[in-house]
Amino acid sequence: MPPDINIFSANLDGSDVHGLLSAFYPALSPDGMHLAYETQSSGMNILNLNNGKTVSVGTGGGSDPVWSPDGQHILFDGLFVVNADGTGLKRIQTDSPRTEQVGWLPDNQTIVFGAQKGPIKNLYDQLFKSYNLKTGEIKTLFPLTAKTAFGTISPDGQWIAFNDRLFGANMDGAVFVAKLDGSERKLIAMLDDTLAFHPLWSPDMQMGADGPWLIINIYQPYKAASHALVNPFTCQVVALPGLNGEVQSWIKP
């Protein structure tokens, strides 16, 4: 018996649902033609949705893949970078004891990642950094106090949306946006007794007359996951009742 399908594609309103496959950490390419994902048996894989062919990258990891804006490269767990056809696998070396991939800048050559600032025991001492694939230059962007330095980069490369901890809170359940240097930081989501996480930028920064939006995933204990659209610059909020599970990719149709 084939495994249950747990990765689906759908429109923003929950319509036109298609089951894709059973795997973990899915990420659609910007053109929607390829799907990067992880399985326990083969690690990182890239599926061509046109012809059904799959390429195995050949590493045991593969969590949280992030496509470059031009769809030519994928960044994933451990700060590995691979070409979209599965070739050219390499690992970015840093002096940080723990890292988290965040995203790409529009030049398709600079990645942003989260890094442990000091010893691994200092869990709430994180930094966002950038790394240029051509020059090898590493820049420190700004610090945060979350247990995990997770974030996403806006399509224009000007903003980062990320989870951080508010003073006195018991979890990293607040979502902020800031410029890449940490300036113009603002809180956009904080919910009592819930976790707001994995913000995703709209694929077009000019979406609608009122600018870009973020999808916020919301987890409440003993309840199904829910989602909301949040405009970080106008404070508008729109519920997305038609979606189920965790939203992990958002592409322009």
What pLDDT digit, counting tens, does each position of 148-172 carry? 888 999 999 999 999 887 765 555 5
pTM for the full model? 0.90
* Domain presence at residue 215: no
Question: Which pLDDT belongs to residue 120?
Answer: 60
Q: Is the pLDDT score of 2 beyond 60?
A: no
Question: Which pLDDT belongs to residue 218?
Answer: 86
Lowest average pLDDT, out of 29-43, 66-80, 123-137, 194-208, goes to: 194-208
* Domain presence at residue 89: no
Question: Which pLDDT belongs to residue 152?
Answer: 95
* Domain presence at residue 14: yes
* Domain presence at residue 128: no
Q: Is the pLDDT score of 208 beyond 60?
A: no
Compute the 3-state secondary structure of the chain and give helix, strand, coil in percent, each to the nearest 5.
0, 40, 60
- Tens of pLDDT along 38-63? 988 778 999 999 999 999 997 657 78
Q: Output the CA torsion 225→170→201→10 (10° steps).
A: -10
* Domain presence at residue 231: no
- Give the chain's domain count: 1
* Domain presence at residue 246: no
Please, is 150 exposed, middle or buried when counting C-beta atoms within 10 Å of its C-beta (0-12, 13-18, 19+)? Answer: buried
* Domain presence at residue 200: no
* Domain presence at residue 162: no
Read off the tokens for 77.
């767990």
Its domain, for residue 38, covers 1-65
Question: Which pLDDT belongs to residue 1?
Answer: 34
Question: Which pLDDT belongs to residue 30?
Answer: 94
- Tens of pLDDT along 68-92? 999 999 999 989 999 999 999 999 9
